Structure 1
Amino acid sequence: MKKKTNLGLKIISLNRKASFNYFFVDRIEAGIVLKGSEIKSIRQGKVNIAESYAIEKHGEIVLLNSHIPAYKQASYSNHNPTDERKLLFNKREINKLIGKVNREGFTLIPTKMYFKKGKAKIEIAVA
């Protein structure tokens, strides 16, 4: 029987610049709310998270400044490439992250985007 090596992970995009510019305290995995044309563009590997960051907005964590280009075969209802995208966390995780950002002055930086069991995930580092 063949041994699985990557446990279903397919890395799409890495933010290598973040490890040079920031010191990571903690890393947390989150899901992303995406539209159909966004997920198809991500499956093609066309995503850029190098200059992106996450903030708290109305009790939710949203990803800003990430670039997912338009899917060529999509119809007229294509997505905006630089929209803010909601990240999926538990309420306890959201409160913990908001506390670290507000009280201790940390920043939320995405380090990598990948597929895990067919779902798009993003790793957020507290830096």
Structure 2
Amino acid sequence: MNKLFLAAALAVVSIPAAATAQAPKAAPTIGDYVEAMRSTVGMVFEGGIQILAVDAEDNTLVITVTGPDGWRADATPQQVSDALVTGFCETSPEFFRSSHITMRVDSIDMKAKTKGPVVTDCPSGGA
């Protein structure tokens, strides 16, 4: 997998904390997480990896990433997802357990969009 993608993953590790801070008296909603991450849309990280969109589908936080042609060539959708979700889990290991929100990382390479798996807990080794 393109190791430069990890730079993008690490750049969003504080997002769960930001969403929690926005709603201190109640559990953050999917809307809180989407709003907290909107500032990352359009950011280009080392290696040309970019967060293209942050949306919600029901109770699933959907992050779409893209990069230069071929960036995802040797990575499975699971590996792309794990790289990003692990960043969340390192900062907020309780993210999935306390929020009951799921996450999906979609990726675009050479104009082909691939949906990632729906994640309900931290990847192995992520928390």
Q: TM-score, normalised to structure 1's length?
A: 0.26
Q: As a proportion of its length, which structure holds more helix?
A: 2
Higher relative contact order (CA 8 A, sep 6+): 1
Q: Which has the larger radius of gyration?
A: 1
